[in-house]
Amino acid sequence: QMRTTRKVSVWPVGLVGGRRYERPVVENGKVVGWYTGWRADRPFAIDMAGKQGFAVSLQVILSHPKAVFKRRGSQPGMQESDFLKQITTVEELEPKANNCTKVLVWHTRTEKVNLANEPKYHLDTVSIEV
């Protein structure tokens, strides 16, 4: 689904952040928030390490030659937001994986899964099988 990205696309990722999944919250085909265990108040609560996946079209990168991904100078956890604010808006994000209701990508490690941050009661508005 990444191949169909026109500008910047997003999707859920399973087994991440001590939860079964994290995802962009989508209403009427638009991202309206974030189902995440850490700092949902970030402008783009997504993570290049796979906590919520995203892809950027090469054409977008080329059309924003001054956009930079700072290794230093961003607050912790804000590198992705600082970068994406330079090239897009939340309203322009393209939700993939059936409007972010299907987990097609997993954040995996060679260790036992840690679900320490999974809410005791299901707090998401959709039911996602992981």
Q: What is the pLDDT of residues 68-116, one digit of tens each?
A: 988 788 888 889 999 999 999 999 999 999 999 999 988 877 678 888 8
Spell out the alpha helix ranges (H) of 1-130.
Answer: 58-63, 79-84, 97-100
Q: Is 80 a catalytic residue?
A: yes
Q: Which of 22, 27, 80, 91 is catalytic?
A: 80
* Distance (Å, whole) CA 103 – CA 22: 9
All structural domains of the chain: 8-106 (3.90.550.10)
pTM (2 d.p.): 0.86
CA-nearest of 10, 18, 3 to 103 is 10
Q: What is the pLDDT of residues 9-28, one digit of tens each?
A: 999 999 887 889 999 999 99
